Structure 1
Amino acid sequence: MPEAQDHGTRRSMRIGLIGAGAVAPFHVRAASVLAGAELAAVCDIDESAARRAAHLAPGARVFTDHRRMLEDDAVDAVIVNTPHALHLPIAIEAAEAGKHVLVEKPMATSVEDCDRIAAACASAGVALTVGHIQHFLPDKTAAHALIASGELGAVQLVRDNRSTDYRPGTRSPWFFSREVAGGGALFNIGAHCLDRSLWFGGARASEISASVANRFGSPVETDGVLRLRLENGVGIAIAVVSDPPTRSDSLTVVCEQGVVEADPRAGTTVRIDGRTRVLHAPTEHDIQTGFTAQLADFLQVIDGGTPAVPLEHARHVVELILASYRSAETGTTSILGRVPA
C-alpha cells in the first residue's frame, strides 16, 4: 500500500463518499492512507451498501440522504460516485453547501451540465476535480512518463482496445437507462478510452466518427468503434467490445522511435528497434495506488494546486461521446466546433 502523505498544516479533510458502488472500497482505502484526510461519512440510498463501505473506515457515519449529510456539516469535501445523471444535482448541492467536489467520470451527461457543475463550484469558491482514474494508474503513468521524456519522439498513432460486459443483468439496471447513464458502453467504458487516448495523443480532437451496436436486447449501445483525428494530426482508433472470448484492456502508443503498450494485467513495455524492455510490472496494489494518487491530487487542488486532469479535458470527453452518438446515428463524421455540443 502507498505510504501516508502529508498535506502541510491544513487540518484533516473530512471526506464524504456519496454512492457506495463497486469502486467505493478504493475511495475509502485511499482516504485511510493519506495524511490530512479521513473518510468521515458514506451515503447511499441502500443503507446496507453504505454500511459495508463505512465498515472499512471505523468511525465513519452512515447516511441514506446526501442532503442530510451536507446539512449536518459532517464533511468538508465529497466524492460523487453515483449514477451519471446524478452528478449534476449532487455536485451543485455540495458546492452550494461549501464542500469541495471530486466527481467521478464521466463529469456529467451533457456538456451544458459539465459547465453548470464547474460554474457552481467556481461561484462557491470550492475545489473541483473529475475522477479520470487512467491518469493515475501505474501502467499508464509509466508509459506517459517515458513518452514525456522525449526518448521515443513524437506520438504518431494511438490504438485502444477495451472489453466489457453489457449484457442486461450483468450490471446495475441504471447502466441500461439512457436518461440516467447518458448512454451505454461508450458513455461508461468509452469515457476511459477517450480520456487516456487524448492524454497520450496530446491534443483535443478535431473530428470523430463512430459505429455502435446494440446487442443482447439492450436499450443502449453495447459495443462501439471510434476513430478520431486530433488537432495535432495524431490518429486514434478505439474499440469497446462487449463479452468477447478474451478480455482486453490494451493501450498502444506508436511513436517515431518506438511503441509503448500499457495493460493493467500485463504491465507496461516499450519496444525500440527490435528490443523490448519492461517499464512497469503489474502488482496487486496497482488499482488502489491509482485511487490513492487521485485522492492526493484532489487534496492538493483543495490546497490551491492545479488538477492533474484539467476540467476542460473532462468536459471534452463528454463532448466527444455525444459527438460519437451523432456520428453513429447519421453515418457521418462529427466535426468538432461545427455542431452544437
Structure 2
Amino acid sequence: MRIGIIGAGAVASFHAVAAAQIAGMELTAVCDLLPGTASAVADPYGAAVFTNYRALLDSGRVDAVIVNTPHGLHKDMVLAAAEAGVDVLVEKPMATTLADCDEMAAACIAAGVKLVVGQIQHFLPEKIAVERALATGELGAVQMIHDFRSTDYRPGRRSAWFFDSAMSGGGAFINIGGHCLDRSLWFGGAPVASVRATTVNRFGAPVETDGTMELSLTNEVAVSISIVSDMPRNVDELTVVCERGVITADPRRGTYLRRDGETTVLHESGPGDIQAGFTLQLQDFAKGVAGGTSAVSLAHARHIVEVVLAAYESAADGGAVALAGWPAIMPAGASALTD
C-alpha cells in the first residue's frame, strides 16, 4: 500500500513512522501548503512533495491517503479522494456537520473506497488495557465514567484556524472533547441519549476554551466530561466505575485497577506508547482496506460529531438535548457505516 499524507503538521510524523514500520506499506507522497513542512516529513522516506492535494491524488503515486488537515477541509479532501479511487484515513473529527459526514460516507461507498476516521484513543496502549479489563466481565457492568482533560486554548498557542469556527467547527469540545467522547462512549458501551453542557470562552477567544458535558447513555450509564484550559498541571485522566471495581487510565502514568482495597497495574506507560497507537491505527486501516472490519465504525465517528453539536446547542439554550441514537440516524442506504 502506497500511502500519501495530506497535511504535514501536528501528528504527520507519527503517521509517517507508522507507514515505515508496517510490512507492505510505504510512504510515497506528502502534501502541505508549505513545501518545507512537507519536505520535513517526506524526505526521510524518499517520498514526493506536493503543495496541492489534488495533484497528489492525480499523481498515481498513492493507493491511500491520510487526511491530516483543519476540520473544515475534511469533506472536500475525502470527496476528492473518493473521486480518485483512493482509500482514506481522515483524522478526527470526521467533519464539522452531520450533512458533511453523510456526504463523505455516501461518496466513499459509491466509489467503492474505504473511509476510516482516525479516533486514536481506540489504539493507545493504556486505553486498550481498559478494554481488556472490561472484556473479562470480572468487574461487572460499567456504572459511570468521568473524563477530565486539560488543554491550552489561549490565542497564540495554537494555529489561527483553531479559533475560526467556520474552519474548526468550534473550540475545545470538537477538538479535545472528540477524544473524550470517543473513549467514554466506547467504554460506556452505548450511544448518547441526552446531553447537557456548559461552555466558557476565556482569553478573549472566539471559541469555547473550557466546558463540561453531562451525558446519559441509552444503557443509563452516566458520563461526565470536563475540559479545562491552561491548568497548573496537565491532566488527562479517565475513570471508569464498575460494579466491582474502578479503572483509571492516564497516558502519562498508565492504567490501574482498584478492587477490594487492592491496586493492580494493568499498563505502565512508556515513551513509545503514542507511536504504538498510531502504528496500530494504520494497521487497522490496512485491514479495513483489505476487507476486514475496522475497530472504529463510521457510525461511531459520526455520532461523536452529533454529540458535540448537541452539546453546543445545550450550552447555548441552557437545557438538555435529546439524541435519537446513531443506529436510527444513519443515512438511508448507508449500512456500510457499521463496517
User: For the superposition of Structure 1 and Structure 2, which TM-score range results when normalised by the shorter chain?
Assistant: over 0.9
Q: CA deviation at 1:337?
A: 2.8
**Normalised TM-score (structure 1):** 0.95
For 2:303, the equivalent position in structure 1 comes to: 316
Superposed counterparts of 1:153-168, under 5 Å: 153-168=140-155
Please give the residue correspondences for 1:66-215 in structure 2 after superposition, counting only pairs within 5 Å.
Answer: 66-215=53-202
1:84–1:182 contact (8 Å) kept in structure 2: yes
Deviation at 1:16, TM superposition (A): 0.3
The question of 1:20 aligning with 2:4 is answered no
2:332 alignment partner in structure 1: none
Q: Give secondary structure in 1 for the equivalent of 2:69.
A: coil
Matched, 1:45 2:33: yes
Instruction: State the aligned residue count.
Output: 326
**Partner in structure 2 of residue 62 of structure 1:** 49
Q: TM-score, normalised by structure 2?
A: 0.95
Aligned equivalents of 1:337, 1:126: Cα separation in 2? 28
Q: Which structure 2 segments of 5+ residues have no match?
A: 330-339
Q: What does residue 3 of structure 1 align with?
A: none
SS at match of 1:106: coil
Which amino acid is the alignment partner of residue 38 of structure 1?
E
CA distance in 2, matches of 1:53, 1:275: 46
Give the RMSD, CA atoms, in angstroms.
Answer: 0.9
Distance 1:290 1:71 in 2: 30
| Alignment partner, residue 272 of structure 2 | 285
1:262 aligns with 2:281: no
> Does structure 2 conserve the Cα–Cα contact (< 8 Å) formed by 1:28 and 1:56?
no
Shift of 1:179: 0.1
SS in 2 for 1:56: helix
Give the drift of 1:188. Answer: 0.4
Query: Counterpart in 1 of 2:226?
Result: 239
Structure 1 distance, partners of 2:164, 2:213, is 22
Cα distance in structure 2, aligned partners of 1:268 and 1:200: 14
Distance of 1:126 and 1:36 partners within structure 2: 19
Letter in 2 for 1:20: A
Which AA in structure 1 matches 2:56? M
Partner amino acid for 2:26? E
State whether residues 127 and 301 of structure 1, in contact with CA within 8 Å, keep that contact through their aligned partners in structure 2.
Answer: yes
Q: CA deviation at 1:46?
A: 1.0
Instruction: State the distance in 2 between where 1:318 and 1:168 align.
Output: 24
Query: Structure 1 stretches (4+) deviating beyond 4 angstroms?
Result: none
- 1:25–1:56 CA contact under 8 A, matched in 2: no
Partner of 1:31: 19
1:36 deviation in Å?
1.2
Q: How far 1:56 moved relative to its partner?
A: 3.1
5+ residue gaps in structure 1? 1-12
Amino acid at match of 2:150: S
Q: Which residue of 1 aligns with 2:334?
A: none
The aligned amino acid for 2:133 is L
Please give the per-residue CA displacement for 1:167-203, whole angstroms capped at 9, x wherever unaligned: 0000100000000000001110000001110000000
Q: Which amino acid aligns with 2:122?
A: H
Measured in 1, the distance between the counterparts of 2:44 and 2:9 equals 14
Shift of 1:151: 1.2
